Structure 1
């Protein structure tokens, strides 16, 4: 379930970034409210995911998905330029995210350990 929470958090991270751009320095009310709401919901779901996932894995995957999603949707919604260098960087980020997902050992730990993680 932690990975589902993390994916939901990442979607709100993308919405947050796009709404921040659309707010034009928080001068557009609707976009400004969407920015604040998306940030709050995204961080809430991230916190749920981090109850189970290692913070290094969870946060990195969250920002990675958020970064790739923001650039992809930024090019579609705001007509930002998509270059070959950006595409290569996406592949590298996605590879890193997949590597972290595959190397995460906390999924096996959670079936028997219901207590929250502490630092």
Structure 2
């Protein structure tokens, strides 16, 4: 479940970054509110993931996915430039995220109570 929480947190991280760009210095109400909500939701889901994932892995993967998502969507939505250097860095980030996932040690036991179906 921790990796699901981390993916959800990463989506909110991308929304946060893109919405922050659209706030125009927090002068536009809608994007400003979206920025605040996305930031809070991203941190909330990250905190759930970090119940079992090491912070070194969870936080790095969260920022890595957020960075990659922001590059892709920033290029598509805001027509930002994409050059060879950005593409190489993009793949290095993806490689680092995958490497961290593969190198992650078994998760710590969760402190959450287990939900069981009634008999």
TM over 0.5: yes
Match of residue 110 from structure 2: 114
- What is aligned with 1:69? 69
RMSD: 1.1
- TM, length-normalised to structure 1: 0.91
Larger CA Rg, structure 1 vs 2: 2
**Matched residue, 2:95:** 95
Q: Shift of the alpha carbon at 1:115?
A: 3.4
**Partner Cα separation in structure 1 for residue 72 and residue 110 of structure 2:** 37
Separation in structure 1 between the aligned mates of residue 110 and residue 52 of structure 2, nearest angstrom = 9
Q: Distance in 2 between matches of 1:24 and 1:106?
A: 43
- In the alignment of these two chains, the number of paired residues is 112
Please identify runs of 4+ aligned residues in structure 1 that moved more than 2 A: 113-116
Q: TM-score, normalised by structure 2?
A: 0.91
Pair 1:49-2:49 in alignment: yes
Name stretches of at least 5 consecutive residues in structure 1 with no aligned partner: none
SS at match of 1:106: coil
Unaligned runs of 5+ in 2: 113-119
